Amino acid sequence: MSSKMWGGRFQKPPHRLTEEFNASLSFDRRLYRQDIKGSMAHAAMLAKQGLITEEEKELIIKALQEIMSALDRGELQFDPGVEDIHTQVELWLIERIGTTGKKLHTGRSRNDQVALDVRMYLKEEIGEIRELLLDLEETLVSLAEEHLYTIMPGYTHLQKGQPVTLAHHLMAYFEMFWRDLGRLEDCKKRLDFMPLGSGALAGSGLDLDREYVREQLGFAELTRNSLDAVSDRDFALEFLSFASITMMHLSRFCEELVLWSTDEFKFVEMDDAFATGSSLMPQKKNPDVAELIRGKTGRVYGDLMCLFTVMKGLPLAYNKDMQEDKEPLFDGIDTLKKCLAVFTPMLRTAKFNRQRMAEATRGGFTNATDMADYLVVKGIPFRVAHEIAGRAVLYCIEKNKTLESMGLEELKQFSPEIEDDVYDRISLNGCVASRKVKGGTAPEAVRDAILEANKLLSEFGRVRVSGGSLSGDEEGEDWEQDGEEPLKPKEPEAGFSDESWRYEIDEWVEGFFHSLVSMLNAFTAEQPPEEVLATLEIVPFGQLVREQLSDREEELIEYAVEKVNQLHQAELERLKAYLGGE
């Protein structure tokens, strides 16, 4: 039996090189589930319209289900001599049920068939990518909650500009990836049109019920023009554009992590699980994962440019050039998914050096703008205040001083308006705390941004604070957590001494601790930092962990309690340092 769908018009078979050159099965085979699902819906419609019998429909659908199950189990081997996935599925069908299988392609062209398959495939992939992005967004918000009072330099031109918090910096990336999520959702809207029934280019002369197929396959709408339906790849271009922008955001973040992990910055250390070493230099710990994500960004850009170039000169309708749409689309999908999948745990396990970030912020006169703002509040025009602050910076450079280390009389030589209260304003904490404007870096402004982010995430079913609250007396008795109970660690396979099990407990305790801190932040959203500290001090985290793990081994419980108490103490010290100023 010929493996060609189109051999009747030809007097001799294609050259071997033509067959090899023309074939796409090596890469479009990944569409087999979508191809089979589309064929089952098409067969059901043909029976509904009286174009095949009910018995033929049942025979076709049963055989297609068997083929899909066999492929899922790896029991069928693709024939390298077959042209594409559509032909391969049809050949398998005919092998099983004979002539009845030849009726499946009634009212259908491979042009509208492949347009359907790719749309169905991309719809499914968009769902998976959406979840990966939401995982990343949740991680960013969790880290921002943890670092609400961690001060670091804010940069322009990679030169120190003004003090910000790490939470504010992390939430900047939340905004970037949230826009990416919006682009992904928009892409799905324009993708969600069902093209089957458009035929090769002109529609079908048979009485097909396209609306029935649309409902069966779960598409939002029907395509409105058959020429456009079979020649449109805008949805793939739009997806790759989204993927390119998302990869650009990942790349920017990775560039910062690479810089921050250097000995010169020392802002962050990547977990050993997401770093590699050198075959020559024993001391090296390289941020290879971050570097590779940065490198793969160019690859996704290339996928987008590849498809743009394929489509740029094509007349209507379908042209064989469009077979070249799949490899860049598949590669863009695969690359983005891999990068998102590895980036989120890499970020979640990274250790940020709060002390080093604060030290770096003290240099570079990052408080100069705040000195100018202080003078503005005293009634001095901004341009004059800017000049005064600039002269003060120059003086400090010449004298090897900082603005905050100068005595009041020294400061007054630049402006008689300067009083003792200037020191509160130009301290690092004062600089950060003053920027309370919506979208600013002050902890209370960032806390508002975090609460807003939680609301946005809840629209996608990611409820980070599910109405829970913490309450108790001054001694820390009778505290309880409302809402869903956190998952307990599963039983260790190799005993508690196994390091992988210890790592799992560490991860659970950190997640449990930060979920409680998240609820505490929501509970105290309107309170000043001093009251937040007072509340935080009496939360019995150790007791709560012990209650959660009450049915576990005592050694495990003690380890978990010690771990959560360390996290609690670190959080208290961080908040006290912020309130105390330096």
**What pLDDT is stored for residue 474 in this prediction?**
33
Q: What does the pLDDT average to over 70-97?
A: 97
8 Å CB contact between 100 and 60:
yes
- The C-alpha angle with vertex 327 and arms to 326 and 332, in degrees rounded to 5, equals 100
Report pTM.
Answer: 0.81
Q: Which residues contact 314 (CB under 8 A, 6 or more apart)?
A: 231, 321, 322
Cis peptide before 23 (omega within 30 of 0): no
- Averaged pLDDT for residues 236-252: 99
Tell me the pLDDT band of 435, cut-offs 50, 70 and 90.
very high
DSSP letter at 99 equals: G
What's the CA gap between 493 and 509, in Å, rounded? 19
Cα-based torsion angle of the residue sequence 565, 566, 572, 577 in order, rounded to the nearest 10 degrees: 170
Residue 342 has pLDDT above 80, yes or no: yes
Which DSSP letter does residue 15 get?
P
Residue 236's nearest CA partner among 140, 326, 317 is 326
What is residue 238's three-state secondary structure?
Answer: helix
When pLDDT is cut at 50, 70 and 90, the band that residue 82 belongs to is very high
Residue 493 — very low, low, confident or very high, per pLDDT cuts 50/70/90? very low
Please state, in angstroms and rounded to a whole number, the distance separating the CA atoms of residues 297 and 318.
Answer: 30
Mean pLDDT calculated for residue range 182-198: 98
Give the C-alpha separation, 222 to 145, whole Å: 45
Please, which pLDDT band fits residue 501 given cuts at 50, 70 and 90? Answer: low
Confidence of residue 523 (pLDDT cuts 50, 70, 90): low
Question: Quick check: helix, strand or coil at residue 435?
Answer: coil
Looking at this protein, which amino acid is placed at residue 235? Answer: F
Q: Write the pLDDT tens digit of every residue in 466-484.
A: 332 233 333 333 333 333 3
Catalytic residues, which ones? 157, 278
Spacing of C-alpha 269 from chain mean position: 21
Note the pLDDT tens digit of each residue in 103-129. 999 999 999 999 999 999 999 999 999
Q: Which two tokens stand for residue 211?
A: 């609306």
Q: What is the mean pLDDT of residues 295-299?
A: 98
For the chain, the helix, strand and coil percentages under 3-state DSSP, each to the nearest 5: 65, 5, 30
Domains contained in the chain, CATH given: 13-103 (1.10.275.10), 110-137+163-356 (1.20.200.10), 368-426 (1.10.40.30), 465-580 (no CATH)
Q: Which residues face 152 on adjacent strands? A: 164
Sign of CA dihedral 509, 510, 513, 518: negative
